[in-house]
Amino acid sequence: MVTCLVRVDWQDELVVSPITRAPDDVLVHLRRARDLADREYAAPLDLDRLASAAGLSKYHFLRVFRATYGVTPAEYVSRRRIERAQDLLRATNLTVTEVCHAVGFSSLGSFSSRFRSVVGESPSDFQTRYAATGAPHIPGCVLFMWGLVESSATQEKRDRPRRP
């Protein structure tokens, strides 16, 4: 539970009371940071950048964000990335590694473990399940051409020196 200190009006003592959500004037700022996380989920987003978007100190931002939305900013960004990964795994023919990099994870291992903890199955099992019953997949080249996913995963493969 997140708490804040509140002064009792006629006494000089402090009483601890729980924050249930951000006040209305702060809620606008939290939404600005949440919108940034929704828009730029694939970019590196840390607490400093989100707090800066909200115009709050990072410690106050963390407390109020968690009290208002029920998750920390890092958990929110991670869940948003997993939601986007689910969309890509369902609708495209991208590999799990390409999806991992396209949604902002830098490690396939951390992506897979986080995906499994949120969704309940591995990314490859999820993709296989939807490949059998879902609609035809959008070719990955179309996604890259239209800029719907970043090409960093495939670019890294091309930039590596080839072995003779």
Residue 11 reports pLDDT greater than 70: no
129-164, pLDDT tens digit by residue?
877 776 656 666 666 665 656 655 444 444 445 455
Alpha helices (runs of H) in 40-95, residue ranges in sequence order: 47-54, 58-69, 73-91
User: Alpha-carbon distance 91 to 158, whole Å?
Assistant: 25
pTM of the full predicted structure?
0.71
DSSP state of 138: B
Of the given ranges (40-44, 88-92, 151-155), which has the lowest mean pLDDT? Answer: 151-155
